[in-house]
Amino acid sequence: MKYNVKITLILVGMFLIAQLLGLVVLNSYDNYYGKTATEMGLEKPEASFVQETVPPEVEIKTAIDVTQILFSIIFAIAIATLLFFLLTKIKITLIFKIWFTVVVFVCLSIAFSLIIYPLVGMNFISLFGTTFTLAEVIALPLAAGFTFFKIFKRNFLAHNISELFIYPGLAVVFLPLLNVLIAGLLLVAIAIYDVWAVWKSKHMIKLAKFHINTLKIFPGFLVPFVSKKDRIKINKMKQAMKRKEEERRKKGKGKKKKKMKEIKVRVQVAALGGGDVAFPLIFAGTIMFAYNVLAALLVVFCATLSLLYLFYISKKGKFYPAMLFLTPGCLLGLLLVLLFF
C-alpha cells in the first residue's frame, strides 16, 4: 500500500463523504431551483446567487446534442489545463490565487446555500430594497470565511472541510448540461487523459507538485503524515527524555522544564486530486436524476470500492491515474443499476 491503513481510510472516507454530501446538495437544488421546484411553482427570490450562477438545464435530444456538449466540456478542460501549465512555466502565482479564490468561493456559496435551504426553507429577507433568501444570506459570508482560511491561511482542517463542499457545488454547475450518457462518455475521456497526463507526459505530476510546493494551494484532499522511520525517531526521543526525567527524580532533583531536542523529520502529504472526486460525483448525480437515490448510492459505493482497491495495490513513491480505476467502478455501478432498477 502507498499509505498506511489510517491515512488510506481517511482519504477514502473523505471521498465517500464528499459523494454523499454531493447527492444531498444536488437533491436540494432540484427541490428549490430545478425541475421539482418548477413543477411545484415554488416562489423564487428577486436575487439569488445560486440561480444566477448555475446554468439553465439543456435539452439533450439527439446524438448531435450529445457530441456538442461532450466536446465543449472536453475542450474547456483542455484549454484550462494548457493555461494552468503555461502559468506554471512563467510562475505567475497571483493569477492562480485569484482564480482559485473565485472558484472556491462560488462553489462553497452554492453548496452551503443548498445545504442550508432544507434547514431554513425558502424564507425571504429584504436587504437594500431587494429580496434575498435567508439561506443565501447565511451561506455567502460562511463561504467567504472558509475561502479565506483555505487560500490565505492554509489551514489543513479548513482546507479539507472546504474540499468536502467544493465538489458538490461544482457538480451543481455541471449537472444541468449533462445526462447519464454524456457523463459516462466524459468519465471515459477523462480516464484516458488521466493515464496520458500521469504516466506518459507526466505534466499532471508537475502541476500537483507546483500547487503543493509553490502555490501552497491544492485542488483536492491533503493529509499530512510522517513516515514510520520518523515516528520511531520521535518516539525514541520522547522515551529518552522520559528516562532522564525519572533519573532526576531518583536523585532527588526538582522537576526540570522539558525541552524537546530539535530533530529533523520529513512531513509528507497524502493527496487525492479534486477531479477524482468531482467526476464520479457528477456521474452519480446524473444517475440519481435518471433513476433514484438508491441507484446513485450504488454507483457511489462501487466508486468508493474502486478507490480503495487503487490505494491497496499502489506502491510508495509512485503516481497513479485515479480515474483509470474510478471510471470502471462508476460504470460497474451503472451496470448494476441497469440490472436491478
Query: Which pairs with CB-CB distance under 8 Å and at least 24 residues apart come from 135-143?
Result: 136/45, 136/48, 136/49, 136/50, 136/109, 138/112, 139/49, 139/109, 139/112, 139/113, 139/115, 140/49, 140/109, 140/112, 140/113, 142/108, 142/112, 143/105, 143/108, 143/109, 143/112
Residue 128 pLDDT: 76
Q: For 23-27, 28-32, 54-58, 111-115, which range has the lowest pLDDT when averaged over its residues?
A: 54-58
Residue 95 pLDDT: 78
Phi-psi region of 220 (alpha: psi -120 to 50; beta: other; left: phi over 0): left
- Can you tell me the distance from the alpha carbon of 78 to that of 58, in angstroms, rounded to the nearest whole number? 22
Q: 228-269, pLDDT tens digit by residue? A: 665 666 666 666 667 777 766 766 665 555 555 566 666 678
Residue 166 pLDDT: 96
Residue 281 pLDDT: 97
Query: Under a CB-based contact definition with an 8 Å cutoff, are residues 223 and 270 in contact?
Result: yes
Average pLDDT, the chain: 86
pLDDT at 208 over 80: no
DSSP 176: G
Per the structure block, which three cell numbers stand in for 140? 455567502
- Can you tell me the distance from the alpha carbon of 10 to that of 69, in angstroms, rounded to the nearest whole number? 35
pLDDT at 46 over 90: no
Query: Under a CB-based contact definition with an 8 Å cutoff, are residues 322 and 272 in contact?
Result: yes
pLDDT at 140 over 70: yes
Q: For 195-204, 297-306, 308-317, which range has the lowest pLDDT when averaged over its residues?
A: 195-204
Q: For 96-100, 259-263, 288-292, which range has the lowest pLDDT when averaged over its residues?
A: 259-263
Q: Is the pTM of this model over 0.75?
A: yes
pLDDT average, residue stretch 115-126: 90
How many angstroms separate the most distant Cα atoms in the chain?
88
Q: For 16-30, 102-116, 229-243, 290-304, which range has the lowest pLDDT when averaged over its residues?
A: 229-243
